[in-house]
């Protein structure tokens, strides 16, 4: 999805996400620009982890990499937000925030927005797929990962 073809889910006025200064999430953000999902993994013990860190949560190794995974998952938890976490969201209420479990990445969990009707019934365990929302007009441009229920 690009802004040229569809209105962005998140309104203008929100701070643009960016890789942190230490670069831990650079591979993730570079992947989103190519509409790919990349998750951090330890090369020593093969443990997946999210969010990005400088050492493995399991074995404390500093030998970490990123691997591409299928942009699909399952809803582990969700919340319908009625109060904006940022003033730019006040006209977008309610909205759905989901915690997505990624089976191809050791069931690590990633937070995101669930697109569609904000009053839709949400079922734990529902299959979802990523939708990549391009913000090409931002400086620098970035792409967000949003989620939709698979039909």
Among 145, 48, 34, 146, CA closest to 104: 48
Judged by DSSP in three states, 87 sits in helix
**β pairing state of 95-102 and 48-49:** unpaired
pLDDT tens digit string along 4-43?
346 778 777 777 776 676 789 999 999 999 999 999 999 9
pLDDT tens digit string along 69-85?
999 999 999 999 999 88
What is the chain's mean pLDDT, rounded?
91
The percentage of the chain sitting over the pLDDT mark of 90, rounded to a whole number, equals: 72
Among 88, 73, 65, 82, CA closest to 15: 88
Tokens of 67: 């691997």
pLDDT (0 to 100) of residue 76 = 98
Q: Model-level pTM?
A: 0.89
Q: Which residue has the higher pLDDT, 12 or 98?
A: 98
Cis peptide before 94 (omega within 30 of 0): yes
Q: Is 69 exposed, middle or buried (0-12, 13-18, 19+ CB in 10 A)?
A: buried
Q: Would you give the DSSP letter of residue 25? A: T
Say yes or no to pLDDT of 146 above 50.
yes
Q: How confident is the model at residue 62 (pLDDT cuts 50, 70, 90)?
A: very high
Say yes or no to pLDDT of 103 above 90.
yes
């Amino acid at each position: 999805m690009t802004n040229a073809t569809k209105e962005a889910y998140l309104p203008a006025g929100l701070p643009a996400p960016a890789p942190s200064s230490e670069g831990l999430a650079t591979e993730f953000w570079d992947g989103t620009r190519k509409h790919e999902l990349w998750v951090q993994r330890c090369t020593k013990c093969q443990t997946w982890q999210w969010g990005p860190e400088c050492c493995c949560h399991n074995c404390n190794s500093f030998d970490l990499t990123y691997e591409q995974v299928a942009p699909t998952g399952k809803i582990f938890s969700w919340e319908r937000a009625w109060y904006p976490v940022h003033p730019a969201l006040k006209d977008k209420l309610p909205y759905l925030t989901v915690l997505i479990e990624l089976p191809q990445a050791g069931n690590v969990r990633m937070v995101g927005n669930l697109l569609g009707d904000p009053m839709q019934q949400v079922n734990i365990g529902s299959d979802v797929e990523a939708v990549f929302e391009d913000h090409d007009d931002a400086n620098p441009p970035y792409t967000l990962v949003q989620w939709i229920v698979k039909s």
